[in-house]
Each structure stands twice: as structure tokens, then as C-alpha cells.
């Protein structure tokens, strides 16, 4: 018979093993530290996060931070895994708040502080509450173009409407230049033309379209959406994308475009960080073209961190998050390498000490000008966010429509996925 002490020792051993296996985090910070979920990219390196944390800690004295890093850039999925294992972080960088607010996991920022510090205080608000300080913005997408290739094809000016856009594509193709670059192997990049088309043609005319979709007043399968998305098929069937575009990785699409393999590139403004400084004058940008030439800017506001509603130190977490969000040094790197357009009040680009290209300044002008800004479908973090799982379906539809003519069928599938996701 096994004696009880032996059994107890066995169980204790197992528990110790389990604890060792489940211990997360970097191990820094010690007792009382707040966990801060970050992610890393070639631009936003470990050094950037550590430096930005140290700078914010100077403002928020006494707040200890234990930084953890998401294993991929999908912060939302990792935060959900952490939540399901009882380890939801105190602070979460660049997540999609709509995924978590419904479950009461996020704490809103003080409205007075938000109003006092940001150009578009309600830019990413959910039902009137702000869960991520609107420190910067992105245009998703703009069309970037290669001026030299345009000149080679005899195109004097960037297209202003859809007809001119098609004409430019035809001229480029006739000149032996691939008109549009698409990094279709990465689903989000494959979805860029559809984000542009639906944001410009549908949300441009009805900025409340996504709210109406939630209210079941409109559908993806409606005739106007089918007609708009049909434009994408026109681009594909006319051969304006590389035939093998669905095999091109996002990173390769950048090097292909900046290397002169294609004339146009619909992409989020983070592409501006990848424009080679020595060739920056060769590139320009224009908004995704509409039928009548009116300017519609698909827009996203975000940039900083959300605070857990369950944090053990709400005051410390808020102090740290506010300090981090208002630090121009943090935004400097985001502006230069991630094409982020700063949204702090009473500051010009010069106040950040940045060196940016002319194409960046031209693109930023669309943010500062009065124009028709609408939520970029699939990217918005406000009330226009898609239901959980819909982004994946949207990207899959974008890839499917590269080879399939069944526009109505693919959009009907999106309606089906919407129904399942909102049940």
C-alpha cells in the first residue's frame, strides 16, 4: 500500500511540474508588477518596447512592469488564450477592444483626459467609451504608385476616379508593367483591394453601413455591394494583378513594389515606413478611387494600450498607460517605421523630431484635411469593428474572388458567417 506521505509527495511533485510548465511572462518585474502584453516586429523591436516602458515608468513612478510578448502579431488571439487560462494581462498593446469589451474585460479611459489630449477623441470609441488612447491613425488602404513606371506608360497624373484608374491599369499593362502588386499569400494583404472598394464605394456613401449591417438593415449580398466588389473581379479578369499573386508573401510584395516590379500597391499607410529613403521621390500616393472621383479616406484610429478591467492596480496601470501614450518619443519610431500618423493635440510633425519622406507628408495631408473619412472595413477598432471571426472570412473571400467569378456567392457566405458570429 502506498503510504499517504508518498502519495502527497507524488501529487506535490506533479503540481510543481504543472506550475513550472504554466509559468508565463519574462520573469522580470517581481511581485506586484503589472503584466503588459506587447508584440514584436522588425520595426517594433524588444529594445523599442523596453525603452518605451522605461520612459513611461519615469512618469509613472513606482509602477513595475512585467512585459510579455505575443508569439505572433495576432495579439487578440493570444490575449484570448491568456484570458481562458486565467492570465489576462493588466495592459494590452494594440488589441481590438471590441473583442473584449463585451466580456467586460477592459476599463475605459477618463473622457476628460482623452478630450484634452487627442485630435479625434472619439475616433475609436465603442458606445461612447474610449478603451485605447487615439494616439495615431492609419489610412487603410491608399494606393501607392511608382512615378517612373507611370511616366513609362504615358500616365501624366495619378487617377482621380475609377474610370481613370482602369485606364491607367490598361496603359501600364500595355507598356509591359504589372499594374497592381498584391501580397495575396498573406490573407490580410490579399484583402486590401476589397477593403478599399467597400470602404470607398459602400461606406463612403453610407458611413453607418456597418451599424446598419449589425441591425440587419443591409447585407453583403445586396446589389450595391455585389456591384462594388465586381470591380475587383474586373481588375483580376483584366489581368491587372500578377497571375501568381496569391503565392506572393506580404514581405515580398513590398520588395517587389519598391523594386519596380509593379506600378501600384494598395496597402495600409504602414507601408510608408518601408519606402526606401534614397528612392522616396519616386513614389506617390492617392486615395482608393471612387466612381465620381470624390475623396473617401478609409481610416483607423488607435495606437496605444488597453487596460484590463480586472487589473489589481487600476491607478498604476492608468498612470503608466497615459504616460506611455503621451510620450512623443514612442510615437517618433511609430511615425518613422510604421507610417503612423500622430494624433496628439497641439503638435506638428516637427515636434516629434522625425525624418519623413514627401510621400509620407502627402499621405498625412489626407488625415489633417477635412474630407470624407470612413471606417476602414475589417480594420476599425470602434463601433464599426467586424464581429469575431469575420475578418478571416473577409480575407478568405478576397482570396476566393481572385479565382472565382461568384461574387454574389462569396458575399452571401460572408452574410452567413456574420449570422453565426453574432448569434
Partner 1 sequence: MLTGAATPPDPARPAPRRTRSWLPAARGDRGLFLLAALAFGPYLMFLVLPLLLSLRSSFTNQNPLRATNEFIGLRNYTEMAGDEQLRASLAFTLTLAVGVTIAANVLGVAFAILLNRTSLSYRVMRTIAFLPQVLSGVIVAFVWQTILTQNGLLNSMLTGIGLLDEPYPWLGSPRAALFSIGVVVTWVLSGFTTVVYLAALQGIPVELNDMAEIDGVRGGQRFRTITWPLIAPGTTISVTISLITVLKLYDIIAVLTGGGPANSTQSTALYIVKLAFTSDRVGYASAVAMLLLALSAVAALTVTSALRRREVSL
User: Which residue in the set 399, 411, 414, 418 belongs to the binding site for partner 1 (CB under 8 A)?
Assistant: 399
Of the candidate spans 10-18, 290-298, 314-322, 346-354, the one that interacts with partner 1 by CB under 8 A turns out to be 10-18
**Which DSSP string do the residues of 328-372 spell out, in sequence order?**
HHHHHHHHHHH-PEE-BTT--GGGGT----HHHHHHHHHHHS-SE
283 versus 418: smaller Cβ distance to partner 1: 418
Structural contact between residues 33 and 39, judged by C-beta atoms closer than 8 angstroms: no
335 versus 417: smaller Cβ distance to partner 1: 417
d(CA 389, CA 184): 19
245 versus 263: smaller Cβ distance to partner 1: 245
Place of cell 469575431: 388
Which cell is 66 given?
512585467
Count the site residues for partner 1 by CB under 8 A.
49
d(CA 162, CA 174): 18
Tell me how far apart the terminal alpha carbons of the chain are, to the nearest angstrom. 54
**Which DSSP string do the residues of 264-303 spell out, in sequence order?**
EEEE-GGGGGGS-GGGGGGEEEEEPPBTT---EEEEEEEE
Q: Is 237 in the site for partner 1 (CB under 8 A)?
A: no
Q: Is 193 in the site for partner 1 (CB under 8 A)?
A: no
81 versus 238: smaller Cβ distance to partner 1: 81
Which residues inside 321-360 make contact with partner 1, applying CB under 8 A?
A: none
User: Which residue in the set 245, 317, 343, 374 belongs to the binding site for partner 1 (CB under 8 A)?
Assistant: 245
User: Which residue in the set 190, 194, 264, 340 belongs to the binding site for partner 1 (CB under 8 A)?
Assistant: 190
Q: Is 187 in the site for partner 1 (CB under 8 A)?
A: yes
User: Which residue in the set 168, 202, 210, 246 belongs to the binding site for partner 1 (CB under 8 A)?
Assistant: 246
Structural contact between residues 65 and 106, judged by C-beta atoms closer than 8 angstroms: no
CB of 213 to partner 1, least distance (A): 17
Which residues inside 35-64 make contact with partner 1, applying CB under 8 A?
A: none
Q: Is 17 in the site for partner 1 (CB under 8 A)?
A: yes
User: Which residue in the set 77, 120, 280, 408 belongs to the binding site for partner 1 (CB under 8 A)?
Assistant: 77
Which cell is 18 given?
504543472
Tell me how far the alpha carbon of residue 409 is from its chain's centroid.
Answer: 27
d(CA 387, CA 14): 40
CB of 263 to partner 1, least distance (A): 18
Q: Is 106 in the site for partner 1 (CB under 8 A)?
A: no
User: Which residue in the set 13, 24, 154, 353 belongs to the binding site for partner 1 (CB under 8 A)?
Assistant: 13
154 versus 259: smaller Cβ distance to partner 1: 259
Among residues 310, 307, 309, 351, which one has the least CA distance to residue 327?
A: 351
CB of 338 to partner 1, least distance (A): 22
Measured at the alpha carbon of residue 101, what is the angle toward residues 129 and 96, in degrees to the nearest 5? Answer: 90
User: Which residue in the set 236, 397, 411, 414 belongs to the binding site for partner 1 (CB under 8 A)?
Assistant: 397
Of the candidate spans 73-81, 218-226, 267-275, 331-339, the one that interacts with partner 1 by CB under 8 A turns out to be 73-81
Q: Is 170 in the site for partner 1 (CB under 8 A)?
A: no
CB pairs under 8 A, 24+ apart, for 152-156?
152/177, 153/177, 153/263
Q: Is 235 in the site for partner 1 (CB under 8 A)?
A: no
16 versus 365: smaller Cβ distance to partner 1: 16
22 versus 45: smaller Cβ distance to partner 1: 22
* CA quadruple 95, 99, 102, 106: dihedral, nearest 10: -10
Q: Is 10 in the site for partner 1 (CB under 8 A)?
A: yes
d(CA 126, CA 95): 14
Structural contact between residues 210 and 375, judged by C-beta atoms closer than 8 angstroms: yes
User: Which residues, listed in sequence order, are joined to residue 37 by a DSSP beta bridge?
Assistant: 68, 92
* Number of Cβ atoms within 10 Å of the Cβ of 259: 12
Binding site for partner 1 (CB under 8 A): 1-2, 6, 10-11, 13-14, 17-18, 76-77, 80-81, 83-84, 99-100, 102-103, 105, 184-187, 190, 242-249, 252, 255-256, 388-389, 391-392, 395-397, 399-400, 402-403, 420-421
Amino acid at each position: 500500500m502506498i503510504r499517504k506521505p508518498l502519495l502527497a509527495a507524488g501529487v506535490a511533485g506533479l503540481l510543481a511540474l504543472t506550475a513550472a510548465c504554466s509559468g508565463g511572462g519574462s520573469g522580470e518585474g517581481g511581485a506586484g508588477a503589472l503584466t503588459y502584453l506587447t508584440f514584436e516586429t522588425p520595426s517594433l523591436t524588444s529594445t523599442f518596447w523596453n525603452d518605451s516602458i522605461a520612459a513611461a515608468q519615469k512618469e509613472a513612478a513606482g509602477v513595475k512592469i512585467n512585459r510579455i510578448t505575443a508569439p505572433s502579431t495576432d495579439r487578440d488571439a493570444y490575449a484570448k488564450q491568456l484570458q481562458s487560462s486565467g492570465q489576462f494581462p493588466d495592459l494590452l498593446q494594440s488589441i481590438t477592444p471590441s473583442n473584449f469589451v463585451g466580456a467586460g474585460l477592459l476599463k475605459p479611459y477618463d473622457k476628460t483626459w482623452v478630450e484634452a489630449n487627442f485630435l479625434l477623441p472619439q475616433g475609436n470609441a465603442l458606445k461612447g467609451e474610449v478603451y485605447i488612447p487615439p494616439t495615431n491613425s492609419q489610412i487603410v488602404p491608399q494606393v501607392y504608385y511608382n512615378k517612373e513606371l507611370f511616366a513609362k506608360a504615358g500616365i501624366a497624373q495619378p487617377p482621380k476616379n475609377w474610370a481613370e484608374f482602369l485606364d491607367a491599369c490598361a496603359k501600364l499593362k500595355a507598356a509591359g508593367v504589372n499594374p497592381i502588386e498584391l501580397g495575396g499569400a498573406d490573407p490580410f494583404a490579399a484583402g486590401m483591394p476589397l477593403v478599399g472598394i467597400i470602404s470607398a464605394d459602400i461606406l463612403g456613401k453610407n458611413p453607418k453601413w456597418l451599424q446598419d449591417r449589425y441591425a440587419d438593415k443591409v447585407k453583403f449580398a445586396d446589389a450595391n455591394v455585389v456591384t462594388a466588389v465586381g470591380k475587383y473581379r474586373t481588375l483580376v479578369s483584366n489581368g491587372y494583378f500578377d497571375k501568381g499573386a496569391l503565392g506572393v508573401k506580404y514581405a515580398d510584395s513590398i520588395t517587389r513594389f519598391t523594386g519596380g516590379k509593379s506600378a501600384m500597391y494598395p496597402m495600409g499607410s504602414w507601408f510608408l515606413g518601408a519606402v526606401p529613403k534614397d528612392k522616396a521621390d519616386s513614389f506617390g500616393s492617392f486615395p482608393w478611387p471612387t466612381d465620381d472621383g470624390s475623396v473617401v479616406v478609409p481610416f483607423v484610429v488607435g495606437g496605444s494600450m488597453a487596460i484590463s478591467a480586472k487589473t489589481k492596480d487600476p491607478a498604476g496601470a492608468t498612470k503608466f498607460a497615459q504616460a506611455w501614450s503621451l510620450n512623443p518619443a514612442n510615437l517618433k519610431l511609430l511615425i518613422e517605421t510604421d507610417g503612423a500618423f500622430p494624433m496628439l493635440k497641439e503638435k506638428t510633425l516637427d515636434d516629434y523630431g522625425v525624418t519623413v519622406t514627401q510621400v509620407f507628408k502627402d499621405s498625412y495631408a489626407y488625415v489633417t484635411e477635412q474630407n470624407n473619412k470612413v471606417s476602414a472595413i475589417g480594420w476599425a477598432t470602434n463601433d464599426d469593428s467586424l464581429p469575431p471571426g469575420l475578418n478571416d472570412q473577409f480575407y478568405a473571400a478576397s482570396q476566393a474572388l481572385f479565382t472565382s467569378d461568384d461574387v454574389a456567392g462569396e458575399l452571401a457566405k460572408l452574410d452567413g458567417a456574420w449570422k453565426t458570429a453574432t448569434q
